[in-house]
Structure 1
């Protein structure tokens, strides 16, 4: 068995997500050899001194079979010890894991479990089956299907979608009907659509690592300041034993193996947390790392076939921030050029709201090359603060799945 304390050769099959970029930093600081493949030559992870080699590959969304063939070719070279999916590539690898077994180490659950966690409708049904708390939810297969009484405001979600894609907020019956009509016209009802009551409260996130249904590591954080597109600009670690217990039940039911994350609402009325979304992977693991919970290394150990002891929970009230998210969020909320420049200065000297906080996405003190995407973001926002929203919308790249690519992967004979 390979010792995870020694240098490992790790292949990360995407470099565009914030989660993948943060994993690169954690792995690089541990001394591992990291290579990344991504369809975009300008992906975020490429601008890191910790990435030893970048491979431009076909897009997961546009050519899943070509993407798989490319990754299998890299694996066949014998250069890698661990395949570490950090985003939706796990859906594909879970489908074909029997083909990969014995050629490279990885940690993934069964495809049936992965598909259930990946689908918003599947996750909602799982919560119902386990009697775990969620907001009142209706699952629709068509616009005309009876949905019963809806309490407004409400959230309309397509069953497939990540990074806030496929989410609409509606405030009355007219807006709801319009949203459902728009979805039907655009093919959104090719899969299911959820209509969920909007609960007054604060959204938080928790992530975990499982080994064959047993919870080994857990971490939760809350948003201190918003970025753009539903992301966090500043985070603070929190203790959430109730959410930990809910995740334990979910992972045990699914026989989960690998990383698993959830979003949940802490209601303003003080009732129990309500689970609202699931991601079958780790999501931005750096706050956990700084808090003393190294979920990425734990995931490596599980990938290598170990069954390690569970990690103790990390420290509370640990602050981290993402400078790029902060700049984009600040500009999108109407910040002027002068205000954007002032905010950038506060980010660089860790003053104002960033006092005592650690940069998690572009850690200049550890990785000077990460100044490139940060500096580019600042320059774009300085030139046109109004471009922030357009720039954020461009984040749906070929490294992500859509319904067409999901159906293609599901049709494969594993």
Structure 2
């Protein structure tokens, strides 16, 4: 998997997300020079021997203009070959393409295409236009409309949100009232809301990389066990030609350039996969890497203006896990200290569901500083398993967008 060509200088746009941390591992293992900027001094990527330099920066959510100026300053003061947006920073970078492109390479679609899938409502409308399958969906603009549109059981989503933010499972009137209360308290009622029928099935995700509308790389995996907030604790690579076809249609329609990922439900009562969400980036790319598909390297080559050859299909049946997610998930499900200790034992011994699985987030044998956040998390959960929910919320930080920062970036005078 390691490229024999000259190492590149890569600036990673954030280090707080699991996706960013995994990208750092892949880049470092390939011998690239990696630097990271993030508003948190203690982000996950700080605990990696592959990060040559960390830059403390303004938050994307709290100060998008300041964050952009900071990145421009870095690019002006030192040389980087590639700017790698590993999370929602792509929304800002494609908006400011004219300011950034003369200084560094990156692979992103135009702003209108990015906006079309960044919004959950926009993505749902796109699926309707392309005739691609999704759960029955209603888009509403107020709490009154939400009450009328909801039938049980349903999933209520804000149009903007990532990492399971702004999502409620409503099985009855009590759940709906709780969602309405949360929406009113959070102020998330200024935009559109989605109500989707709750479909019983398994969760899968697919990742892809496009070159101006042509699919060059694809990988899919299924959730074996869940962590905190519904994220994957254990995943396994799968072959999904139907989902690949969905992504090819989306990418061709939008003339997509760069990374694109989707979330999918595989219904128990149907063979048709249903698209439920979209992320205009790579989501946790290590499972693909372990299965023989290096989507991060593919992005680097696109960022340099190359047109790489399409990658071969990744291997199915490759299992990976995130021990941090597994521990948080165990504790968040009303777990006790004994449950956390048992989970630690299963992970260490490689017992089911970890048998034959590779650690993807904190691979200590490859990158020993990754042991620090894992050990700290385990210690906190042993003190009190209730820490799980507050630790999980720590991932929803200033490196992410919200409705206000999106409006600012979209405003006419921003760039």
Shorter-chain TM range is: over 0.9
Greater alpha carbon shift after TM alignment, 393-402 vs 332-341: 332-341
Other structure's SS at 2:363 match: coil
User: Number of paired residues?
Assistant: 412
Q: Cα distance, 1:183 vs. partner? A: 2.2
* Aligned partners of 2:146 and 2:193 also within 8 Å: no
Matches within 5 A, 1:325-404: 325-404=325-404
Matches within 5 A, 1:283-362: 283-362=283-362
Residue in structure 2 matched with residue 269 of structure 1 by the alignment = 269
Other structure's SS at 1:188 match: coil
Q: Cα distance, 1:393 vs. partner? A: 1.9
* Aligned partners of 2:138 and 2:149 also within 8 Å: no
Q: Cα distance, 1:394 vs. partner? A: 2.4
* Aligned partners of 1:227 and 1:330 also within 8 Å: yes
Contiguous gaps of at least 5 residues in structure 1: none
Other structure's SS at 1:190 match: coil
* Aligned partners of 2:146 and 2:195 also within 8 Å: no
* Aligned partners of 1:140 and 1:147 also within 8 Å: no
Other structure's SS at 1:157 match: strand
Greater alpha carbon shift after TM alignment, 379-388 vs 129-138: 379-388
CA–CA separation in structure 1 for the residues paired with 2:280 and 2:147: 28
Q: Closer, same or farther in 2 for the Cα pair 1:397/1:150, shift >3 Å?
A: closer
Residue in structure 2 matched with residue 47 of structure 1 by the alignment = 47
Residue in structure 1 matched with residue 107 of structure 2 by the alignment = 107
Q: Cα distance, 1:351 vs. partner? A: 3.0
CA RMSD in angstroms comes to: 1.6
Q: Cα distance, 1:185 vs. partner? A: 5.4
Q: Closer, same or farther in 2 for the Cα pair 1:360/1:185, shift >3 Å?
A: closer
Q: Closer, same or farther in 2 for the Cα pair 1:125/1:77, shift >3 Å?
A: same
* Aligned partners of 2:149 and 2:195 also within 8 Å: no
Q: Cα distance, 1:344 vs. partner? A: 1.5
Matches within 5 A, 1:49-88: 49-88=49-88
Q: Closer, same or farther in 2 for the Cα pair 1:4/1:110, shift >3 Å?
A: farther
Other structure's SS at 1:296 match: helix
Instruction: Provide the TM-score with structure 2 as the length reference.
Output: 0.96
- CA displacement, residues 198-249 of structure 1 (integer Å, 9 cap, x when unaligned): 1111111000000001100000000111110111110000011000000000
Q: Cα distance, 1:178 vs. partner? A: 5.5
Greater alpha carbon shift after TM alignment, 27-36 vs 179-188: 179-188
Q: Closer, same or farther in 2 for the Cα pair 1:146/1:346, shift >3 Å?
A: closer
Q: Cα distance, 1:98 vs. partner? A: 1.0
* Aligned partners of 1:143 and 1:181 also within 8 Å: no
CA–CA separation in structure 2 for the residues paired with 1:233 and 1:334: 17
Residue in structure 2 matched with residue 136 of structure 1 by the alignment = 136
Instruction: Provide the TM-score with structure 1 as the length reference.
Output: 0.96
